[in-house]
Amino acid sequence: MLIHIPDVLTAEALTKCRTILEAAPWADGRITAGTQSAQVKNNRQLPEDTPESDALRAIVLEHLNRNALFLSAALPRRIFPPLFNRYEGAANAFGNHIDNAVRICAATGERVRTDLSATLFLSDPDDYDGGELVIEDTYGAHAVKLAAGDMVLYPGSSLHRVEPVTRGARVASFFWMESMVRETERRRLLFEMDMAILELRETQGDSAPTVNLTGCYHNLLRMWAEV
Ligand code: NI
């Protein structure tokens, strides 16, 4: 399931990120690729151990942690520190690949199982051509190109690619999460239930059936969550 999370970053946060990104020391994107994906990866990436990366990560994580839609959809247990990439000029595409199942945080040595992948778009879509994130699932291929500040969440198990950027630059943040609920279908069920409960509470208040249903949500989460 692909989930679009709008307005993860405010306009103010976006401006701050762009200012930092303008002066950032971009490197070859293959620094974090496995040997197979290195063959199809052709972009630029911000090294993890720079002050620019630290500042950008802090902004992204702060906004993620207060985004109710993200928290409901991902039920995050661990978030791999966000990375930043740039597709432009000759380094403009990333062919089909599946992300590594487990990532190790350079700073802490902590392992993160990549249940979910996320791309947070930082460039205005009018400022570049191409650069769609294409995600394949059982329903076919989905091309994703979102407004600056918006994010897409998708299962880490998905085959995906970034189409060549033919004009301008596409800058994004990308990262992975281990979820408290490992199975995509269980997570999806909980998310749909949570959204339906939210709507019921808004339209009918906290009626007895809504309170019961909320209890069922929490009891399902208790049954399935690893914390
Ligand atoms: Ni990938």
* Gap from CA of 161 to ligand 1 centroid (Å): 7
pLDDT of residue 52: 96
Whether pTM > 0.85 for this model: the answer is yes
* Residues with CB in 5 Å of ion ligand 1: 99
Work out the percent of the chain whose per-residue pLDDT is above 70. Answer: 100
* Gap from CA of 192 to ligand 1 centroid (Å): 26
Are 91 and 117 within one domain? yes
* Gap from CA of 215 to ligand 1 centroid (Å): 37
* Gap from CA of 144 to ligand 1 centroid (Å): 14
Report long-range pairs for 157-161 (Cβ below 8 Å, ≥24 apart): 157/98, 157/184, 158/98, 158/117, 159/96, 159/97, 159/98, 159/135, 160/96, 160/97, 160/98, 160/117, 160/133, 160/134, 160/135, 160/136, 161/40, 161/93, 161/94, 161/95, 161/96, 161/97, 161/133, 161/134
Is pLDDT above 80 for 32?
Answer: no
Per-residue pLDDT tens over the stretch 64-99: 999 999 999 999 999 999 999 999 999 999 999 999
Q: Tell me the CATH number at 88.
A: 2.60.120.620
Per-residue pLDDT tens over the stretch 117-128: 999 999 999 999
Per-residue pLDDT tens over the stretch 141-160: 999 999 999 999 999 999 99
Q: Tell me the CATH number at 202.
A: 4.10.860
Are 209 and 157 within one domain? no
* Gap from CA of 69 to ligand 1 centroid (Å): 23
DSSP state string for 132-185: -EEEEETTEEEEE---TT-EEEEETT-EEEEPPEEEE-EEEEEEEEEESS--HH
Are 169 and 220 within one domain? no
pLDDT of residue 34: 78
Domain containing residue 202: 184-224
Count of structural domains, the chain: 2
Per-residue pLDDT tens over the stretch 175-218: 999 999 999 999 999 999 999 999 999 999 999 999 999 999 99
Are 26 and 130 within one domain? yes
Per-position b or e across 48-73, b if 16+ CB within 10 A of its CB: beeebbeebbebbeebbeebebbebb
What Cα–Cα distance (Å) separates residue 114 from each residue in 18, 91, 196?
27, 25, 27
Are 139 and 218 within one domain? no
Are 170 and 211 within one domain? no
* Gap from CA of 67 to ligand 1 centroid (Å): 23
